[in-house]
Chain A
Amino acid sequence: DAGVTQSPTHLIKTRGQQVTLRCSPKSGHDTVSWYQQALGQGPQFIFQYYEEEERQRGNFPDRFSGHQFPNYSSELNVNALLLGDSALYLCASSRQGDYSPLHFGNGTRLTVT
Chain B
Amino acid sequence: EDQVTQSPEALRLQEGESSSLNCSYTVSGLRGLFWYRQDPGKGPEFLFTLYSAGEEKEKERLKATLTKKESFLHITAPKPEDSATYLCAVQARGYGGATNKLIFGTGTLLAVQP
Number of A-B residue pairs, CB cutoff 8 Å, is 65
CB distance A43 to B41 under 8 Å? no
- Complex Cα distance A31/B43, Å? 17
- Complex Cα distance A33/B102, Å? 10
Interface assignment of B16: CB less than 8 Å from any CB of chain A: no
CB distance B97 to A42 under 8 Å? no
Interface string of B91-114 (1 = CB under 8 A from A): 000000111111111110000000
Please give the number of chain B residues whose Cβ is less than 8 angstroms from any Cβ of chain A in the complex. 25
A40, A56, A99, A101: most-surrounded residue (chain B CB, <10 A): A101
Q: Which single member of A31, A40, A43 contacts B99 (CB below 8 Å)?
A: A31
- Complex Cα distance A22/B26, Å? 33
User: Could you say which residues of chain A place their CB within 8 Å of the CB of B45?
Assistant: 104
CB distance A4 to B43 under 8 Å? yes
Please give the number of chain A residues whose Cβ is less than 8 angstroms from any Cβ of chain B in the complex. 31
Interface assignment of A48: CB less than 8 Å from any CB of chain B: yes
Q: Would A99 and B41 be within 8 Å (CB), given that A41-B106, A45-B103 are in contact?
A: no
User: Could you say which residues of chain A place their CB within 8 Å of the CB of B46?
Assistant: 101-104
Interface assignment of A7: CB less than 8 Å from any CB of chain B: no
Interface assignment of A105: CB less than 8 Å from any CB of chain B: yes
CB distance B97 to A96 under 8 Å? yes
The residues of A with any CB-CB pair to B shorter than 8 Å are 4, 31, 33, 35, 40-45, 48, 50, 55-56, 58, 90, 92, 94-99, 101-107, 109
- Besides A95-B99, A99-B31, A106-B42, 5 more A-B contacts (Cβ < 8 Å) are A35-B104, A42-B106, A45-B103, A90-B44, A98-B99
The residues of B with any CB-CB pair to A shorter than 8 Å are 4, 31-32, 34, 36, 41-46, 49, 87, 89, 97-107
- A–B pairs, 22, beta carbons within 8 Å: A42-B4, A42-B87, A42-B105, A42-B106, A43-B104, A44-B104, A45-B101, A48-B99, A56-B98, A56-B101, A90-B44, A96-B97, A96-B98, A98-B99, A99-B31, A99-B49, A101-B46, A102-B34, A104-B36, A104-B46, A106-B42, A106-B43
